Amino acid sequence: MAVFKGAAVAITTPFKVDGSVDFETFGEHIESQIKGGTDAIVVCGTTGEASTLTHEEHLDCIKYCVEKVAGRIPVIAGTGSNCTETAVYLSTEAEKYGADALLLVTPYYNKATQNGLKEHFTIVAESVKIPIILYNIPGRTGVTIQPATVVDLCKKVPNIVGVKDATGNLGMIMELAAMAGDDVDIYSGNDDQVLPLLAVGGKGVISVLSNIAPRQVHDMCAKFFEGDIEGSRRLQFEALDIISALFCEVNPIPVKHAEKVMKINNGVLRRPLTDMESANAARLEKAMKDYGLI
């Protein structure tokens, strides 16, 4: 059974003015996501600025999210690292805290071979019992998990169950889907490719847009699964402008700006991320207005 089916939010991490994690606001954001129909929460991913969290903060965020959600929807903890030992540490701790599943990003900077990726993911998977979703995002990591590697891992390692594909390469996604059969749960890592991925058998999306439009992204998936392909297509097309604006600067700069516009008090960005440039902010706010968010 898939970890989740539908739309999971790649949730942002709110910070106070002094840079510490704002757990009160985080809790409010989690509640608004559940109320808005989000099907799962991915905590401490790219959008959650995990790369600038200390290990203690990282684990505190996972623990808080698990306790706040209290079993209402799955919580998937981002616990990947370019250091295998660190990934094992974060993963085993997240399992202790009650995370339902893990999201493991491809090791970055090291640029491992496909055999190296297999070893890395297998070692981490064998350290825990909960399901694992691989996170294929070569634009950030410099390495692509090839379709054959994904399928091999999902077939040979019992608790590696799927992949979040943020390659943007529809040809590669088609190749993966053709090879995967029932062995790989495929999730879109790009909000502008939800419908195409669902059309080739995907289980849903891990979404940035869901931070500000949880109901719309949930419905995009739900309509498809209900057989209302035209309704799903309409929602995907309607979201294209806001999605483009959300990625006109590096994620999560635009979505955190959008949250502020919507009066979600998410505080500061962690450096080296900086506030959105004025022209891009104006573009985003226009897209939000056109989409009916403000």
In this structure, what CATH number is given to the domain that contains residue 95? 3.20.20.70
Lookup: tokens for 200? 């080739």
What is the domain count for the chain? 1
What domain range is 88 assigned to? 6-226
Decide if 109 is catalytic.
no
Task: Give a yes or no: residue 145 inside a domain.
Answer: yes
Q: Which of 63, 135, 203, 291 is catalytic?
A: 135
Task: Give a yes or no: residue 265 inside a domain.
Answer: no
Task: Give a yes or no: residue 264 inside a domain.
Answer: no
Task: Give a yes or no: residue 95 inside a domain.
Answer: yes
Task: Give a yes or no: residue 259 inside a domain.
Answer: no
Task: Give a yes or no: residue 288 inside a domain.
Answer: no
Residue 49: its H or E element: none
Task: Give a yes or no: residue 21 inside a domain.
Answer: yes
Give the Å distances, CA to CA, from 136 to 106, 117, 145, 239: 6, 11, 6, 23
Residues 6 or more apart in contact with residue 189 via CB below 8 angstroms: 135, 136, 137, 164, 165, 166, 167, 205, 206
Q: Report how far residue 177's alpha carbon sits from residue 24's, in angstroms, rounded to the nearest whole number.
A: 41
Q: Which of 68, 164, 223, 256 is catalytic?
A: 164
Is 0.85 surpassed by the pTM of this model? Answer: yes
For residue range 210-232, list pLDDT tens digits in order: 999 999 999 999 999 999 999 99
CB 158 within 8 A of CB 130: no
Q: Report how far residue 80's alpha carbon sits from residue 99's, in angstroms, rounded to the nearest whole number.
A: 14
Sign for the CA dihedral angle at 269, 259, 29, 165 comes to negative
Task: Give a yes or no: residue 127 inside a domain.
Answer: yes
For residue range 39-80, list pLDDT tens digits in order: 999 999 999 999 999 999 999 999 999 999 999 999 999 999
